[in-house]
Each structure stands twice: as C-alpha cells, then as structure tokens.
Structure 1
Amino acid sequence: MTLRKAPTPPMGWNSWDSYGTTVTEAEVLANAEFMAEHLLRHGWDTIVVDIDWADPTARAHGYNQSAPLVIDEYGRVQPDPVRFPSAAGGEGFAPLAARLHELGLKFGIHIMRGIPRIAVERDLPILGAGVTASAVADPANACEWNPHYVGLDHSAPGAAAYYHSLADQYAMWGVDFLKADDLLWPYQAAEIEALSTAIETAHREIALSLSPGRDLSAAHLEHLRQHATMWRICDDLWDRWDGVEANFARLARWAPFAGPEGWPDADMLPLGRIGIRAERGEPREDALTLAERRSLVTLWVMARSPLMIGGDLPTSAPETIALFTNDDVLEILRDSAGNRELLRERDLVVWAASRGDTRWVAVFNTADEAREVPFDKRSVGLGPTPAAVVDLWAGAPVAVEVVHEQSDAARGVAPGSSVVRLALEPHGCVLLRARGHA
C-alpha cells in the first residue's frame, strides 16, 4: 500500500499524558466511545495507545529495567493480555482495532525504533530473513531513555526484514497510525527510511508520526516529507506555561512548511484530566488557566499542528472539552493558508492566516499581566474598513471603531484608522475572523 499522507493535520487522543506506560484496554475503549459520541463530528477520529503496551510490569513514573516484554517467536512485541484481554490467544491488537473501526475511528499505537533487547538476548529468528536478532542488532545505537530496545544495523542482511515483519503485523491488526519514537534526537535517517519503506509495502495505509523533536532542524525537511506523515518539533510538552511559550518560536519557524506533504507537530495537548498514572505529576485537571488553554489550542490551530488530546476524555471538565468542539476555531486547522507569525514584540505575538476573503488573526499576550491593546485592522491583515470582525472563542462580534483623534498615535494607530480594541488576559489571546471584502 502506502505511507498515508494526511490532507489536513491529524486529530485524536493519545494515552500518554493520562496513563503513561500503563493504559488498559478498558480505558482506551472509554476514551474511544467518548470521542465517537462527542468529538467525531468535529473531526477528532484517532485513538493512540502510547508506550510500553507489551510490558506486563508497567508502572507509573518511569520504565522498568529488564522488563519481561511480551514478544512472539520472531521478536515482535505483543500487547500484554492482562491489560488488553482481547489480545489473548495471539490476537494482538486486531480485536481492539476492529472495535474502534466499528465506532468510525482510526486506531494507532506507539512503537520504539529498533528491536527489543529481550529478543536479542534470546537470539530469536527474524521472520523470513534466515538470520537471528543478534545478527541485525546494533547495541551501540540504543535508546538513552528507554531500556527495552537497541537499534538495528541496517547494513546487516535481515535488518530490513525485521521492520517489514512489524509493518505486516500492524497491517494485519488493522493499525492506522504509528507513533514511532526515538527517531529524531539524534536524527536516525537509516531507521526512518527503513521503517517508512516497510510501511510502504504493507497491505494497509498507515500514517507515520516521528518523535521526539528536540533540537530538530528544518534542514531535514525534505527527508521528513518523504518518509513521514508528521514529525515532532519539540520534546514532551506538559501543562506548564513555559513549555507552551517555548513553542511560539518553534512554530513560527515550522508553520510555513506545514501542509499535506507533512505536518510539523508541536506535541500533544496536555489538557483535561491528566497524570492519572503518567510519567509526571499526580492526578489533576491540568495546571494551565483557561486563558492559557485557549492560547495553546489557538497557537496549534493557527500553525496547523496536529492535535492529539492528552486528557482522559470521560473525566475531563466540560469547559476543557468545549475547547475541542468549537468548529469555527477548527475550521482554521482544516482550511486555511498562509499561516504565519506577523509580529513578536516584547510580550505581544500576532499570527495570521487566510482563505479567499476570510482572514483570521490571533493576538497573544505572553506577559504575566493583563493588557488592553488597540489594533489598526490593516496592521494585522483584517483590512482597512469597518467590516464585521468576530471573536471566535467568545462567539460574538468585536466592535470596530474609526479613530478620529490622536489619542492612540503613540500606539501606532493613526487618525482615520479602523480599530479593534482587545482586552487580553495574562497568557491569554483573542482569535478574530473577518469575512467579506474589507
């Protein structure tokens, strides 16, 4: 088949922020059923089981050394049948994927690059290769933070066959989305190419997401577009404003390259009920303010980053879920162009996007204090005349006035200008839309 390219940024839910390495089948299904009932009609359609689904000893807050991963006779990890009962009897993820497909959803899993150490220690055969795991392993290129895997030596006969055996199994299970980890820091070009090639030959379209994106350079852009659906541009994001703020600069660099050829990914939305059994922190409704949550979603949408919710959907607060169901906001993600940062001066950041005669502008206040700002509509791309402007989060028109005096001259607003006056909360934003000739 082929590596799936997405015409619009993927949207879904991932278990990591809530459940870390320990998510169960029941918890996955609860989130899938919530998505199908409440979010699918708004474009959210993918459920991803994150890391260590093969570890029967998985725990919150870290990884287990020498974990007894569940593997088959060819060294391929299998779902732990205690946490995923439908996987018993060698069924793998096929029954769970089938259930999600019945709900109208796509099914995704997390994988690590390379081959499990336990497969190398047992020197298991590689399916269809005539060699064993020790012959294709590269222990010198091991993951520095997950102890379960080592790299593959892609100069060794049989290394490619291992990835082909994985892709064939995932296709047989009905997997639609792979989040492949430990590939971008450092940049593992040979592993990326081998995994992408294996997916290309599998009998199912599968989207490929690459992680993590620490220090990722746009020098890799064409390689990424050739071999992936989406790729991370940062390390893991959690519910702290400093992490969100750091992504303003990253997204300003990467947003001009976002499109169906590939989607730069600013990481998951750590919003809602998180930390239930996760890597960082205790169970909590995320620590961001409502203004900060809106700024996060707005920035991701304006940059057309993929959206993967991290909070446990059934137990997250209604005001958080409401952030994911605003179709006027999500329209920007799916159907805008020219998405870019227009202005960054001290604590003020402005982004713009357009489609035909529709224009969107997001104004962010990164300061710790509230502020009120008058904007000449022309300076933010909304046009020169008093055409209608709507605040998409408030769902209400924004007053447009014509300035006749010099009172705002010090703020760059000349007499005769059409002005919108914006009240910005600390770390907050206003998301504006103007339609028609202005």
Structure 2
Amino acid sequence: MATSPTPAPPMGWNSWDCFGTTVTETEVLANAAFMAEHLLPYGWNTVVIDIDWSDPTARSHGYNADAPLALDAHGRLVPDVGRFPSSADGAGFGPIAEKIHALGLRLGIHIMRGVPRLATERDCPVLGTTHTVREIADPTNRCEWNPDMDGLDHTHPAAQAYYDSIVALYASWGVDFLKADDMLWPYQAADIEALDSAISRSGRAIELSLSPGRDLSLSRLEHLREHATMWRICDDLWDSWDDVEANFARFARWAPHAGERGWPDGDMLPLGRIGIRAERGEPRDDRLTPAERRTLLSLWIIARSPLMVGGDLPTSDPDTIALLQRPDVLAILTGSSGNREVFREGDLVLWTAAGVDGVRYAAAFNLGSAPLGVALDAGDLDLPSALDGEIEDLWSGEAVATSVVTEQSDTARGVAPGSTAIPVTIEPHGVALLRYSPA
C-alpha cells in the first residue's frame, strides 16, 4: 500500500459543492486561511481542489466536450494559469502548496482515471520511455460521465510509467492527497493498483481517495484496504434529506470495516454556502434543516467516515461553522471503536460505539417526519443495567435523565423491568447523540 495506515479519517474541505469545475486560486486560499484560523484546532487540515483545474473554459453545471485542457509536453495535466496564476512558468500547484503548508494544512487535488484524450490526439511522449500516449490509451474504457479522458491499456508497460510520471509531478509540487475519480463504478482494479504503485514510487506520503462509490460491493474490501486510504460508498451526495437517508443503509454495511486500514466514505458534507458555481443548483445556503445537519454530521461521525465540507467556508453561516467546532462530537470520529448500527425499527435507528476509559456513545436517529418519543434500553447501548455515571446529549449539552424500570409501562415500552430506561424525544429527521461517562 502506498499510504501508511491512518489512525483517524481525513477531515477537510473540498471545492466541488460550492465551485464545481471553476474554483480559483483566490478561492482556494481563502478557504485555506479560514480553515487554519477556525477549524484546524478541531482537526480539519486538508484543502482539496476538485475536478477540471486544468480547463480554462470550465463552467458551472457540467463539463465541456473537447475542452482545451492545459497539458505539459508529456501529456500531464497542469493548472490553468488563468485561474491559478501562481502556476505560471511550470510551477504547477507548488506555490499554492507552499502557502497551504505554511498554514499547517495539507493540499489535495482531484485527478481522473486514465490519460487526457487531448494527449492521445497530440500523441505526447510518455516521460522516461520510448513510447507515446497513443500507444497506451484505451478508448474502449472511457469514463461514462466526463468527456476528457481515455482509459489506459495496462497490458502495456508504459501505462504504469505514465501514472508514475503524473504522481511524481504532483509529489514535486507538494501534494499530500489525491482524489482519484472514475475508479469504482465500474471497478477499475488495474488503475487502482497502478496508481497506488505510482504513489509508492514517488517517495512522498500521499493519501489516496477513490470515487465514486455507486453499487460498491463489500467483496472489494481487502483490495481497497490494500491500495487506498478511503473509498466512496455512494454517488454524489447533495443537500436533500433523501440523499442523507440513503446513506444509513450503506453505512450500516460498511462502518464495521472502517479503521486504520481504510475508511468507507459517505461523500462530502453539503453544508453551508454551496452551489455558487457548482454542478447542481443555484447559489444557496444548504437546504437541510438544522436537525438534518446534525443528523448528517452525527451519522458520518459515528460511522467514522471521512469528513470533507463542501460549502464555501468564509461565506457559510456561522451556526453551520459552529457545528464543525465540537471537540466532544468529533471525539467519536477520532477515538471510538466498535461503531455499528444496533437496530432499525420503524423510524428509529440506533447506533452505538465505544470510547476510551469506559465511555460509550449512542446515536438515536428519527427518520420520520414527526417528533419521536422513545425510551432506550441501556442494554441496547451496551451499558450496565444500573448506571453509575452520567448521560449527556452532546448537541444540546444537557444531561439526560434515566430511571430503572420497575414494571412495564407506556412510558418505558420495550424496556424490561430491572433495566434502565433512557427517555429521549427526537425531532423530525433529527438525532439524540448521547455520551455515557462512568463515575
């Protein structure tokens, strides 16, 4: 594996939800500065420039056929100088990386599987070989949704040399994180292995993220763990309850396998000011309710998914930013284990996880459109029947009262006599995020 095991999921910002294919150097650096000042103390440390940073004609709401992508002499994508002026004279993303590193942050960039079709047309020489791009291109394995790339023929040795050359270039710029797209649907095992090998040969520690995750099967788990830091388990996620709710079932399958060997990824968090020049929708504050935002974060965190915020940080609502500044909540992401869905019954979904020193976590979600009052059984939370500590709702900061059930009643329905009942009322599409701390 090219990247070392990571003790916690990556956390950062990605330009896609707010700026789509059109993000500029100024916007990247503004988000980096905001992150360093307001979010780095809470663990957010990665700034990712998403797709089409080489296209001088990039636009919102889609891709351009036959785009005049910026390439070097060896068919490798380089930044568009118009949007990234510091990349002039072959500097690439080096100057931006230097500024981001000076803030204590890491730089990530998006790449596509394969080789640019424009490089195939120009028949660029593959660096370090006597072969050309046209010899290694595979037009029969093109991306289904993006017009820029040809596939690679991995039976040809220069295909590996091409991936080696692009990763070496990006490593020389100081890139720390690669979001590699069109890798998982359909599953491109040869490309994943070749890119992982290229990262190893680059000599730089670079984390590898794979996308998109439509219909991703658990049968791929060991291969993913061997070659990547994180991998998407869904298609693009946007600011609708339907998108959020669909990930409950996916995380239930994948979360038990999250850990230092790799992180199942529920996609970016479409929170804050999004759609500015994005693929989908007009400029807006995300359309999730406050309860849905807390549910989104709680599910991603208790499932230990990577967290990449999609909203423009400097112009996002302060209340949204405050949700990202909760060390007690983020401790579940960085320091819990045994994370799993315990049950799903009607509109109620219950997750639990273990903390350190006897701490236990639980997230009780209400998928329904009406308030839900329920008494949780301490046994379902893996808590002792007689509690000797305190339970706190981490979002409200309030203590949660408990009682030992002496006989069956409507107020403690489903909790056996002799067990401790934990009554909670959960707002529509909301969550009760609980922490038990022993005395």
Letter paired with 2:414: G
Matched with 2:160 is 160
Aligned pairs for 1:80-99 (under 5 A) are 80-99=80-99
Per-residue CA distance 1:339-366 (angstroms, 9 max, x = gap):
0000101111000000340100000000
Q: Please give the alpha-carbon distance, in whole angstroms, between the structure 2 residues aligned to 1:329 and 1:212.
A: 27
Q: Percent identity?
A: 63
Q: What are the equivalent positions in structure 2 for 1:38-117 lying under 5 Å apart?
A: 38-117=38-117
Deviation string 1:78-107 (CA, Å, 9 cap, x unpaired) is 100110010011100000000000000000
Q: Distance in 2 between matches of 1:149 and 1:205?
A: 26
SS in 2 for 1:47: strand
Please tell me whether residue 175 in structure 1 is matched to residue 192 in structure 2.
no
Mapping for residues 237-386 of structure 1, pairs under 5 Å: 237-355=237-355, 356-386=357-387
Q: CA deviation at 1:7?
A: 1.5
Q: CA deviation at 1:375?
A: 1.6
Structure 1 residue 371 displacement after superposition:
1.4
- For residue 407 of structure 1, the aligned residue among 361, 386, 409 is 409
Cα deviations by residue, 1:213-263 (Å, 9 ceiling, x for unpaired) = 000001011110111010000000000011111100100100111001011
Post-superposition offset of 1:323: 1.1
C-alpha displacement of 1:284:
0.6
Alignment map for 1:109-258 (pairs within 5 Å): 109-258=109-258
Confirm or deny: 8 A CA contact 2:16 2:50 kept in the other structure. Answer: yes
Equivalences, count: 437
Give yes or no for contact 2:2–2:196 (8 Å, CA) kept in 1: no
Deviations 1:111-144 (A, max 9, x none): 0010000000010100011111100000000001
Aligned residue identity for 2:378: K
User: C-alpha displacement at 1:48, in angstroms?
Assistant: 0.1
Structure 2 unaligned regions, length at least 5? none
Q: Contact 1:180–1:211 (CA<8 Å) still a contact in 2?
A: yes
Q: In structure 2, how many angstroms separate the alpha carbons of the residues matched to 1:297 and 1:157?
A: 44
Shift of 1:309: 0.3
- Give the Cα separation in 2 of the matches to 1:411 and 1:428: 21
Q: Check the 8 A contact 1:49/1:109 in 2, yes or no.
A: yes
Query: Residue 341 of structure 1 aligns to a residue in which SS?
Result: strand
Distance 1:171 1:384 in 2: 54
Measured against aligned partners, the alpha-carbon deviations of 1:156-175 in whole angstroms (never above 9, x if no partner) come to 13111000001110110000
2:391–2:437 contact (8 Å) kept in structure 1: yes
Structure 1 vs Structure 2 CA RMSD: 1.2
Alpha-carbon separation, structure 2, partners of 1:90 and 1:432: 52
Q: With the length of structure 1 as denominator, give the TM-score of the two structures.
A: 0.98
**Distance (Å, rounded) in 2 between the aligned partners of 1:5 and 1:36:** 24
Q: C-alpha separation between the residues in 1 aligned to 2:222 and 2:404?
A: 47
- Mapped pair 1:21 → 2:21: yes
Which amino acid in 1 is paired with 2:216? L
Partner of 1:3: 3
1:394 aligns with: 396
Distance 1:337 1:118 in 2: 47
Q: CA contact under 8 A between 1:199 and 1:206: conserved in structure 2?
A: yes
Higher alpha-carbon deviation: 406-415 or 10-19: 406-415
Partner of 1:301, secondary structure, is helix
- Structure 1 Cα separation of the partners of residues 23 and 5 of structure 2: 28
Structure 1: how far apart are the matches of 2:310 and 2:253?
Answer: 24
Q: 2:424 pairs with 422, 425, 433, which one? A: 422
TM-score between both structures, scaled by the size of structure 2: 0.98
SS in 2 for 1:161: helix
Quick one: distance in 2 between partners of 1:339 and 1:375? 18
Which residue identity lines up with residue 292 of structure 1 in the other structure?
E
What's the CA shift for 1:414?
A: 3.2
Alignment partners' CA distance in 2, 1:195 and 1:375? 47
**What per-residue deviation string (whole Å, max 9, x for no partner) do you get for residues 302-347 of structure 1?**
0100000001101111111111111001001000000000010111
The answer to whether the 8 A contact 2:385-2:418 is kept is: no
